[in-house]
Amino acid sequence: MSRHVGLDRPKGPGYFLFWKTVFLVLLAGFMYFVYMASSAVEYVWRWERVPQYFWLKQDVDVRAESEGDLLSIKRDATGVTLTIKTNSGEVQRVMPADAEVHLSEGDFVYMGDSIASYHQSKPGVLLEGLWITLKVSFIAIIFGIVLGVLTGLCRISANPALRWSAITYIELIRGSPLLVQIFLWYFVAGTLINGVLQSIGLGVMPPLWYGVLALAIFTGAYVAEIVRAGIQSVHRGQMEAARSLGLNYSQAMRRIILPQAFRRILPPLAGQFISLVKDSSLLGVIAVRELTKATREVVSSSLQPFELWILCAVLYLVLTFTLSLLIQQLERRALR
């Protein structure tokens, strides 16, 4: 009689071949469903127009804003400078070095005349929104980790003030919607902060930083509970052994407890960071032009909702999948 039962039974080549075939059939069925659904929609797909919103290439026509005599055309490594003498004085127009000037020195320029043209190639609206999403998410993750670790340590502290403060912060943040917190930080706290900054001559804080602040504080509350659970999952005998070796509490926590807890909290941290990337899409409500807001603007101007929203979803998928791979690689190194 076989010594293996249930899940312990060795799997033969036919087993894996069968289930791989099942997976391929399911994948083919899903792709067929997507194809049939897209065909059933009475919509004209215009994928050829999408690249211009990702990387913009266009010819720019420079026109005169006032009339006068073209005094000089100067070319150097930085660009082309046209000096036009008008009734109110001299006006200079600076253009890229590859600009083609349509006039000669001494010509009279009328308002609205085409005086030069050049080819422009730059990141499109979607790529700029993707960069803002990356920047906001990265900064918020860093601050969220620092705030979460400190709050998690306060959460298990014997000091009542630290422990109760941490509990209050965690429950308030986790118990209220992120969208409401973004509104409060920008329209309520932001009004006070900007007023103080203006009173001392520092100007106002851009909306992006209020978005980073809201995301970092929101993420920090969840990271704090993850850190607290990770620390408490380490057997208390580890702390007792470290203290018996002469280490104080902070040394034992830093050298013994936290390294072990770090290996255990990596998977839930990865999930929290992936959620943070997607939560950054809410910052459009405070005029932060991240990926979702940029997509919404392009959809409004181009009337191509399906292509652009599908592309937006794919870009978020690339971001989150890449972050997941990085966390998995970090987890493998931590387990060595």
Alpha helices in the chain (DSSP H): 13-40, 51-54, 125-155, 160-174, 178-183, 190-199, 207-233, 236-244, 249-252, 258-279, 291-302, 305-335
Nearest to 60 by CA among 95, 92, 112: 95
Domain boundaries, given as residue ranges, for the chain: 59-121, 125-335
pTM of the full structure: 0.79
Nearest to 293 by CA among 282, 302, 278: 282
Divide the 336 residues of the chain into consecutive groups of 10 and give the mean pLDDT of each group.
56 82 94 86 81 82 83 83 83 81 82 82 87 93 92 88 92 92 91 87 87 93 90 81 81 81 82 89 89 91 86 91 84 70
Confidence at residue 1, expressed as pLDDT on a 0 to 100 scale: 46
**Residues 6 or more apart in contact with residue 84 via CB below 8 angstroms:** 64, 66, 68, 69, 70, 71, 90, 91, 92, 93, 109
Q: Taking the domain 125-335, which CATH number applies?
A: 1.10.3720.10
Which amino acid type is present at position 247? L
How far is residue 204's CA from residue 191's CA, in Å, rounded to a whole number?
9
Q: Are the C-beta atoms of residues 232 and 253 closer than 8 Å to each other?
A: no
User: What is the CATH T-level fold of the domain 59-121, as seen in this structure?
Assistant: OB fold (Dihydrolipoamide Acetyltransferase, E2P) (2.40.50)
Helix axes 125-155, 258-279, angle to 10 degrees: 140
